[in-house]
Amino acid sequence: MKVFKFGGASISSIERIQNVAKIIQQYKGEKLLIIFSAMGKVTNDLEKVASAFYAGNKEAALSLFYQVKQLHLDLFQQLNNQAIAELSNIFTEIEWLLHDKPVRDYDYYYDQIVCCGELLSTVCISEYLNTVDCKNEWIDVRDIFRTDDNFREANIDWTFSQQKVNEIIKPLFNNTDIVITQGFIGATDENESTTFGREGSDYSAAIFSNMLDVESQTIWKDVDGVMNADPKLFPAAQIIDQLSYLEVIEMAYYGAQVIHPKTIKPLQNKGIPLLVKCFLNPDLPGTIISNQPTLNLPPIIVIKEKQVLMQVSSRDFSFVEDSLVAKLHDLLLENKIRPSLSQNGAISLLCSMDDRPEKIEKLALAASEFFDVQIEKNCTLLTIRHYNEKVIKELTEGRIQLLSQKTKETIQILLKTK
């Protein structure tokens, strides 16, 4: 058995969906559990629906949602699908919610709204695949993946979910070769929808791979494989044929948009190889990620834009004591902020983080009770694994270096354009 994950770009148009069907047909006779993301940029569109709703702009939220709805209805028609009831149920559920007034946290509503992207895409695609000789069973993954209620960053309940996989998913394969389900989403014990964070479908696929003990997992992307840098920023970026789990965990940790950071552990724990292949050119070998250590890697470059540097200093010029460091740490945890880089000085602490304005404001306000707080926005965090002096120079020339840290393998520099 294999697990496949197709991301939003692979199903962003009717032609691409037909292309995906062709890829799946090439695996005839094999057992496949296939995870799909939301189509194209639908998750971004749904995020806008959630923001408008939470800001009290009901009309805007409904009209933004209408566009998402229309997109799927058009697709549904183009695919000659028939079973409209399932789509309608999903639409209705969201529209009901949008008529309410928000009384809970933003993150809760975000998950209730945004989760429909993958439900809609999989309903459309499952039915289409049935008509092109890819008979499949569609599963609402919220009946399988139980999570806690840490909305937008939910944690899976491994024991409960494994039990559901055993009870529901495994027997399905007695009657079908293909099971289609959603990435990114799960549900709490109160049937509230949850998500694993943006790009979380890779992680969903890895959970299934682990629970089903599959022979391999393939992530189908629009690039030829994992590259050592973002080719949009660095035209000379190159494909890496082979990577170790460890290297990929490091890359993801530093913010490379290759694979969701939580994806590797479930695969590593069972020694399941991860293939990254190109849906536009399925014959290419792509990248294989496994236990094999990798040597002689080129410099791997990760750029994180929209970073905020926060400097907190003790007011009375006293040294930053351990208890104050701990205090700041608590505030970061409370606000669910993970610094991308941090450094302690004598009377001040520096840390950079993703610019999530609502969280940063809360954090800065709370920290200002104890410290002087300074914020510098619009910074860029550059990380280079397997660096050399030449590449550092190339990438930092003419820019201000606000903070930097270096180990044997990795250098990180927080930059600001002059």
Q: How far is CA 48 from CA 90, 94, 130, 372, in A?
A: 18, 14, 32, 34
On the CB side of 152, CA atoms within 13 Å amount to 11
Binder of Mg ion out of 5, 7, 53, 307 (CB under 5 A): 7
Query: Closest separation between CB of residue 41 and ligand ASP, Å?
Result: 8
Binder of ligand ASP out of 38, 97, 178, 207 (CB under 6 A): 38
Which of Mg ion, ligand ASP, none does residue 170 bind (CB under 5 to 8 Å by kind)?
A: none
Could you tell me which stretch among 21-29, 133-141, 195-203, 322-330 binds ligand ASP (CB under 6 A)? Answer: 195-203
Binder of ligand ASP out of 6, 11, 32, 37 (CB under 6 A): 37
Binder of ligand ASP out of 3, 11, 32, 43 (CB under 6 A): 43
37: contact with Mg ion by CB under 5 A: yes
**Residue 307: is it exposed, middle or buried by C-beta count within 10 angstroms (0-12/13-18/19+)?**
buried
225: contact with ligand ASP by CB under 6 A: no
Query: Closest separation between CB of residue 120 and ligand ASP, Å?
Result: 11
Those residues whose C-beta lies under 8 Å from the C-beta of residue 302, and which sit 6 or more positions away, are 229, 251, 254, 255, 256, 382, 383, 384, 385
CB-based burial, 183-203: b 16+ in 10 Å, e otherwise: bbbbbbeeebbbbbeebbbbb
121: contact with Mg ion by CB under 5 A: no
Please work out, in degrees rounded to the nearest 5, the angle formed at the alpha carbon of residue 253 by the alpha carbons of 248 and 257: 70
Binder of ligand ASP out of 2, 3, 4, 7 (CB under 6 A): 7
315 within 8 A of 230, measured Cβ to Cβ: no
- Residue that is written with structure tokens 């954090």 in the block: 363
- Chain centroid to Cα 398, Å, comes to 33
User: Over the Cα atoms of the chain, what is R_g?
Assistant: 23
**Residue 315: is it exposed, middle or buried by C-beta count within 10 angstroms (0-12/13-18/19+)?**
exposed
200: contact with Mg ion by CB under 5 A: no
- Chain centroid to Cα 372, Å, comes to 34
Which of Mg ion, ligand ASP, none does residue 184 bind (CB under 5 to 8 Å by kind)?
A: ligand ASP
- Cβ proximity to Mg ion, 37 vs 380, nearer residue: 37
Strand partners, 344: 349
Binder of ligand ASP out of 65, 108, 110, 184 (CB under 6 A): 184
Query: Closest separation between CB of residue 47 and ligand ASP, Å?
Result: 9
- Cβ proximity to ligand ASP, 198 vs 265, nearer residue: 198
Could you tell me which stretch among 31-39, 205-213, 228-236, 261-269 binds Mg ion (CB under 5 A)? Answer: 31-39
Query: Closest separation between CB of residue 193 and ligand ASP, Å?
Result: 13
198: contact with ligand ASP by CB under 6 A: yes
- Cβ proximity to Mg ion, 48 vs 58, nearer residue: 48
Which sign does the torsion angle of CA 216, 217, 219, 220 carry?
positive
- Chain centroid to Cα 52, Å, comes to 22
Could you tell me which stretch among 34-42, 58-66, 81-89, 388-396 binds Mg ion (CB under 5 A)? Answer: 34-42
Which of ligand ASP, Mg ion, none does residue 40 bind (CB under 5 to 8 Å by kind)?
A: none
Enumerate binding residues for ligand ASP (CB under 6 A). Answer: 7-8, 37-38, 43, 117, 183-184, 198-201
